[in-house]
A = this chain, B = another copy of it.
Amino acid sequence: MKLKIAVLAGDGIGPEITQQSIKILKAIADRFDHEFEFEEAIVGAAAIDLLDNPLPEATLDLCKKSDAVLFGAIGHPKYDNNPDAKVRPEQGLLKLRKELGLYANIRPVTTYPKLIDQSPLRPERIQGADLTIFRELTGGIYFGEKSQSEDGQSATDVCTYSVEEIERIAHLAFKAAQQRRKKLTLVDKANVLETSRLWRKTVKKVAEEYKDVELDFLFIDNAAMQMILNPKQFDVILTENMFGDIISDEASVIGGSIGLLASASVGGANAMFEPIHGSYPQATGKGIANPVASILSAAMLLDHFGLVEEGDVIRKAVATSIKVNVCTEDINKDNPYSTEKVGDFLEGLI
């Protein structure tokens, strides 16, 4: 297969981890006789520094011309604590999601037996948990109108959802549930929000087409509790943008390391693959960042194009590396391997 992959390494540890993923994808191309073409472009704080624009036109064009985007990470502390900054790295990511029509962000949370003891949760709570989150990614309060009153004394964000926006991701989530344990939990705040009530109503209607999937509902506050109390109850979680941001980050740590979790953003003509973790500025350039989340995102990229055997090869390599403890310091505290060494080891297994 021929694939053109845009590489947007971004800020912080983004470049170091993405480099490992490219190495792995190249190894896969060699072994399975594919042709992957990589082209890099700037995004985020790096792009602001150079061009005053977190998503330069050339970068967006490249993404649109490519089959898939491999994304690193975005964000820089110098913008976080400046409420007056006019341009922020995150705008680049948000615009990219919107422009590429990536309305569904898929975040699988799996556990590795060897890492159970690293989970902040007690082993009996986490052992065997296996869930996947479908987060709506191009709507809601993220993309609603934002304003400040003229006197600067008040600020407003608007959250809107349409039936169509809800339906299209609901279908994806139900289809995924059919391939899994056939349970879908809608997370919302229907006792307070009008948008949540539209979600509940619409998802109930979509459910009629998936009678083999059991549908239930949880308020977001309750879901945030249940994720700690009993994560095993979840199979597929479907939720709107902001709630998805929160619940998926919460879910990401229960497995033992956020450095292992990948995500796919799909929906449009192309798709984007990125680790769940952020730009981790404190670690930048130190060679300590875990490249596995990015590498597993590359595996999701392969799955997306039907190259499931190839994806499995990567996943098996990762499982092996964890078993034999060839891991960065977030997992292997006693004798940590560097970002690059982990990448090399995985490359050797392909």
Interfacial residues, chain A to chain B (CB-CB below 8 A): 75, 79-81, 83-84, 88, 90, 94, 119-122, 125, 141-142, 144, 146-148, 152-164, 189-195, 197-198, 200-201, 204, 217, 219-222, 224-225, 227-229, 242, 245-250, 252-254, 258, 278
Contacts and interface: CB of A to CB of B under 8 A. Distances in A.
B197 A155 contact: yes
A27 to B, nearest CB: 32
Given A141-B159, A157-B194, A225 B242 contact: no
Contact of A83 (B197, B221, B248): B197
B146 A154 contact: no
A246 B224 contact: yes
Contact of A125 (B83, B90, B120): B120
16 contacts: A83-B200, A90-B192, A94-B192, A119-B122, A120-B121, A120-B122, A142-B192, A147-B194, A152-B163, A153-B162, A155-B161, A156-B158, A220-B245, A222-B249, A224-B224, A225-B249
Contact of A198 (B155, B189, B229): B155
Contacts of A222: 249, 278
A219 B228 CA distance: 19
Copy number in the complex reads: 2
A6 to B, nearest CB: 23
A168 to B, nearest CB: 14
> Which of A152, A156, A162, A201 gathers most chain B CB within 10 Å?
A156
Nearest to A243: B246
A241 to B, nearest CB: 9
A154 B157 CA distance: 17
A225 B250 contact: yes
A277 to B, nearest CB: 10
Contacts of A201: 83-84
A194 B146 contact: yes
Nearest to A142: B192
